[in-house]
Amino acid sequence: MKSSLGIKIRRILRELRGYQPMNYKKSPIVLEGLVFFVPLAALSVVSYAFHNSWLGGFFSAAALFVLWFFRNPERKIPEDVKSVLSPADGRVLKIEEVDGNDMLNGRYKKISIFMSVFNVHVNRMPCSGRVKDIRYRKGKFFSANLDKASELNESNAVLVETDDKKEILTIQIAGLIARRIVCWIEKGMEAIQGERFGLIRFGSRLEVFLPLEAEVLVKRGERVKAGETRIGCFK
Just list the catalytic residues.
204
CA distance 103 to 150: 15
CA distance 34 to 70: 9
Contact between residue 76 and residue 87 where contact means Cβ atoms under 8 Å apart = no
H, E, C per residue of the chain: CCHHHHHHHHHHHHHHCCCCCHHHHHCCECHHHHHHHHHHHHHHHHHHHCCCHHHHHHHHHHHHHHHHHCECCCCCCCCCCCEEECCCCEEEEEEEEEECCCCCCCEEEEEEEEECCCCCCEEECCCCEEEEEEEEECCECCCCCCCHHHHHECEEEEEEECCCCCEEEEEEEECCCCCCEEECCCCCCEECCCCEEEEECCCEEEEEEEECCCEECCCCCCEECCCCCEEEECC
